[in-house]
Structure 1
């Protein structure tokens, strides 16, 4: 198990973690939600109640995914609601509020994920009242109200709640925007992707580099629906507990491909994938996925997700070839 530094434990409060530590009885493990973390102590909700762990006694520890809700490989075992909450930790809005179990997010209008309500729990009030609260919250911030509505999978326990929430926004006449598919894959199978698929190595004058922060060239090349990254967008790109920025550059320093990996809740996320048109069909996308997967594996992630527009058939086919499979779909509705 990898062990986060003391400064990083606070980033995982609210997450499910496993911690191995020493006490008077020897070496013990505790698994559960991290309730609190400071420079001296970690507090974990164990099976029999809260457990306090001295930071100096920690042998190893890491965030782990939420508990599986169905018998399936790890990348398919989470419910739709649980995976949606995991993904929200990878792309955290500048402003976030909870309306019961609904997550309100705002980031100056940049990206749908960071400027929409995620209604995957009970709001703690009648649904029509919750709808009005959502509309008022976004109106106060000068934003058009928007909801990200996941579609349940058959036999998921959260299906009834997801459908009821969606019906409220549909009944209010909100406009549908951009259906999106969520794909997942085992990280172990994505490592060394080019070699596994029989692809040739990158051309000799190309190199993949990984960095903790996006450099100005990376920021300049990345576009969200054709939109340049605003200043507050850089905060979004670096909002996960940990992320990596992959670049494919020529020997002359020209950036020809890029991608972002992120880590949260024991999962890896893949976003911001781009290869310049003149460099496509040379294995750069596979190389980028493989590089992010290797980084994810080294940091303990077993599963990876990505999001792609449901109608983007070339991208869906490419990701399917790499080993990704369909998990669920969500759609945006705007008021």
Structure 2
């Protein structure tokens, strides 16, 4: 089966290339693919590889940035790119290493520029390009800017990108930031019992009852939201049922040997009964069966119940991020 290189833009790949001197591999981040060339950023810079000379290849997991357990081994920027693969906007463009995303306004994650990596141009020019890209679509420009600790491998690049937006007058959107938590898959999968009379099912696609239970900012899921829910290379939908009523839901996703947990929601009448913990544990077991090395979840500012739930399941803070916009919120 031939590799769909266009679908792999933005991921870490390896391409086996035929040359007059034999075969060699090109390993790095794929930032562009057309009918003639693959553009791969390697440790030594960008390589332009003729498609006609590529005989095999595909995606590979991000390289660890430090000696640590899998859930701690990726840099902030690498983990952000992995998470973007779990929640793929229907419209994307790459500005060098920056990912521009649009999804009709459903979730900030899918409608913001992810400013990690090098944009391939002066930072002030890149900020203008981001502004124009969103303005051309009638959208308020938005940028996701991760906060690294000073000892992170990519701290300098991430801090410089955030500063470039701020220098252009962009401001942080109050209350919109989030914390990224990670955990070893083996710890998350610890079994949790449900209250008597309740059942937990895994669905290949969200049914009407699942969609009716899940809300984003208190509203029903629009069509573009359903597209996003099914946008990862692989996902599953967990539902806790009380008879014929769905009372709690969650989504699990897989990409690049990482699992993600999103869309966790419990009917208010069923809270504080361990349903959230049971959902997370079941998704951890699913991730374990699919050989995911680690699991991530993102928790919004002020979500104390979420921090308590995931902390009890074995998650710990990896990093935080904020959203910046050029207009006063």
Task: State the TM bucket, normalised to the shorter chain.
Answer: 0.7 to 0.9
1:259 and 1:273 in contact (8 A); partners too: yes
How far the C-alpha of 1:31 sits from its partner, in A, is 11
Q: 2:214 aligns with which of 222, 235, 243?
A: 222
How far the C-alpha of 1:246 sits from its partner, in A, is 0.4
How far the C-alpha of 1:122 sits from its partner, in A, is 1.2
Q: What is aligned with 1:287? A: 278
1:248 and 1:255 in contact (8 A); partners too: yes
Q: In the aligned structure 1, how far is the partner of 2:115 from the partner of 2:277?
A: 34
Q: In the aligned structure 2, how far is the partner of 1:303 from the partner of 1:159?
A: 22
State how 1:1-335 maps to structure 2 within 5 Å: 15=11, 52=55, 65-177=61-173, 178-194=176-192, 201-251=193-243, 253-335=244-326
1:269 and 1:305 in contact (8 A); partners too: yes
SS at match of 2:93: strand
Q: What is aligned with 1:40? A: none
1:34–1:298: structure 2 CA closer, same or farther, 3 Å change rule? farther
Q: Tell me the TM-score normalized by structure 1.
A: 0.81
How far the C-alpha of 1:88 sits from its partner, in A, is 0.4
SS at match of 1:90: coil
SS at match of 2:182: strand
Q: In the aligned structure 1, how far is the partner of 2:201 from the partner of 2:152?
A: 40
Q: In the aligned structure 2, how far is the partner of 1:109 from the partner of 1:263?
A: 24
Q: In the aligned structure 1, how far is the partner of 2:191 from the partner of 2:127?
A: 45
Q: In the aligned structure 1, how far is the partner of 2:26 from the partner of 2:126?
A: 34
How far the C-alpha of 1:108 sits from its partner, in A, is 0.9
Q: In the aligned structure 2, how far is the partner of 1:13 from the partner of 1:331?
A: 25
Q: Tell me the TM-score normalized by structure 2.
A: 0.83
Structure 1 gap segments, 5+ residues each: 1-5, 19-29, 36-44, 55-61, 195-200
How far the C-alpha of 1:53 sits from its partner, in A, is 5.3
1:12 and 1:34 in contact (8 A); partners too: no
1:173–1:17: structure 2 CA closer, same or farther, 3 Å change rule? closer
SS at match of 2:177: strand
Deviations 1:53-109, CA, capped at 9 Å, x for gaps: 59xxxxxxx965311101111100100000000000000001000111111000111
1:13–1:119: structure 2 CA closer, same or farther, 3 Å change rule? closer
How far the C-alpha of 1:210 sits from its partner, in A, is 0.6
Q: What is aligned with 1:26? A: none
1:51–1:123: structure 2 CA closer, same or farther, 3 Å change rule? closer
How far the C-alpha of 1:227 sits from its partner, in A, is 2.5
Q: In the aligned structure 2, how far is the partner of 1:127 from the partner of 1:303?
A: 33
1:53–1:106: structure 2 CA closer, same or farther, 3 Å change rule? closer
Moved more, 77-86 or 185-194: 185-194
1:16 and 1:265 in contact (8 A); partners too: no
| RMSD after superposition | 2.9
Q: In the aligned structure 1, how far is the partner of 2:60 from the partner of 2:250?
A: 24
How far the C-alpha of 1:173 sits from its partner, in A, is 2.3
